[in-house]
Amino acid sequence: MPHPPCVSFFLGLLMLALAGSCTKSIEMVDDTSFARNSFSTSIPFANPEVIRLHEANLTHEYIIGSGDLITIELWNRPKLSGEHVVGPYGSITLPIIGEFKIGGMNRKKAAEMITDLYRHFYEDPIATVKIINYMNNRVYVLGRVGNPGVIHFSGQGTLLEALAMAGGLPTRDKTIFLSKCYIVRGKDQIIWIDLLKLLQRANLKLNISLANNDIIYIPESMDAAVFVMGEVKNPGSYQVQTTGLSLLDAINLAGGPTEDAQTAKIRLIREIKEQEGVKTIDMDRMLATGSLTQNYLLLDNDIIFIPKKGIATFNYYLRQIDPFMRTFISATIINETLKDD
């Protein structure tokens, strides 16, 4: 089973450290990888035009399938009429005729075929098909919803309806927000929806119509995070929104620097083409001059470290963070800290 991107990143760095990378000095990359406007999401969100293309092939008639409760009536022949539950392979059992595969048909097509079959036994039969309980038209809503599971629609469902029927959103943490979801359709389609635009900005053009058996997955916004550590009041992980989070924003979310912080030598650590890059940032100069050229927009898995002179204090923070990150930090920032002390 593949590791999530952030875990894979730190596992790779763990291997580098075990190979003796803690003795290697860190290469300082140039500003092209830390450009002020470098924040961009790699997620290919669907725009309204793309959504219309995905909706163009959807059927607007209900398709009978497994689990549906249906009634078949033959005019003036009550003994041949009755209710049927469609089996797991789409079949029912009709009097005289026997097994009949009704799955995959709409009501009109099913009635026509049943009428044709009974013509072999009766003169001018007329069959009608009614759906009593809709069970086949379903989507699966997984991830951050109140009641993940299967949602059934009697007609054409939409993403907003599916989210509402899945019980809304948990409120265990008001700082967690919805930013994105993806819809898996068939074997070869993944449709990404920007939920910030759909929910917070009411862009209903993104309220995509759903197809039978769509899978909707809503990840935690915490899945995209940056890590602020060292001499800040509340070290930890903080969310990256699709609208962008800057270095100063992240430090502010972490409660700001402590009195012992060495704010002239803040480290921004970023994974760049399967390697790590380190940028030293002078926040004192940034605030004194008003030049925000180093107030970089952050990417998922960025690490901000505000140092304090002295290895002992640094090790104190190492004991409080994720074990995968300890090796990474010890293999990078310790060297940089030692060089400055």
Quote the CA–CA distance of 174 and 196 in Å, as a whole number.
15
Q: Considering only CA atoms, which of 204, 276, 181, 161 is closest in space to residue 48?
A: 204
Predicted pLDDT at 220: 66
Reported as a pLDDT band with limits 50, 70 and 90, residue 171 is low
Yes or no: say if 10 and 326 are a contact pair by the CB < 8 Å rule.
no
Partners of 69 in beta bridges: 85, 133
Res. 217: pLDDT tops 60: yes
78-to-22, 98, 321 alpha-carbon distances in Å: 84, 17, 73
Confidence label for 115 from pLDDT (cuts 50, 70 and 90): very high
- Give 332 or 220, the one with higher predicted confidence: 220
Least confident of 108-122, 242-256, 326-340: 326-340
Contact 238, 175 (CB under 8 A): no
Torsion, Cα 4 9 15 20, to 10 degrees, reads -160
Provide the β-strand partners of residue 271: 276
Topology alike, domains 48-60+137-221 and 69-133: no
pLDDT at 206: 95
pLDDT band at residue 156 using 50, 70 and 90 as cut-offs: confident
- pLDDT, average across residues 174-198: 79
Looking at the predicted structure, is the pLDDT value of residue 110 above 90?
A: yes
- 225-234 pLDDT per residue, tens: 788 888 899 8
User: Is residue 17 scored above 70 in pLDDT?
Assistant: no
Q: Which of 23-32, 140-149, 185-194 has the highest mean pLDDT?
A: 140-149
Which superfamily is assigned to 69-133 in CATH? wza like domain (3.30.1950.10)
User: What percentage of residues in the chain have a pLDDT greater than 90?
Assistant: 37
- CA atoms of 239 and 180, how far apart (whole Å): 13
Domain at 48-60+137-221, CATH from 3.40.30.10, 3.10.560.10, 3.30.450.40, 3.40.50.360 = 3.10.560.10
Q: Which two tokens stand for residue 17?
A: 């450290």
pLDDT-based confidence at residue 3 (cuts at 50, 70, 90): very low
**170/153: higher pLDDT:** 153
The span from the first CA to the last CA of the chain, in angstroms, equals: 43
Q: Minimal CA–CA distance to 207: which of 193, 221, 218, 220?
A: 193
Domain residue extents for the chain:
5-39+244-340, 48-60+137-221, 69-133
Q: Which fold has domain 5-39+244-340?
A: Outer membrane lipoprotein wza fold like (3.10.560)
Read off the pTM. Answer: 0.53
pLDDT at 18: 38
Report pLDDT for 145: 84
Spell out the residues 6+ positions from residue 321 whose beta carbon is closer than 8 angstroms to its own.
Answer: 227, 229, 235, 329
The Cα–Cα gap between 279 and 336 comes to 11
What's the average model confidence in pLDDT over 87-104? Answer: 95
Of residues 174 and 85, more confidently modeled = 85
Give residue 26's pLDDT: 35
- Which amino acid type is present at position 283? M
pLDDT at site 201 = 84
Q: What pLDDT, on the 0 to 100 scale, is given for residue 243?
A: 54
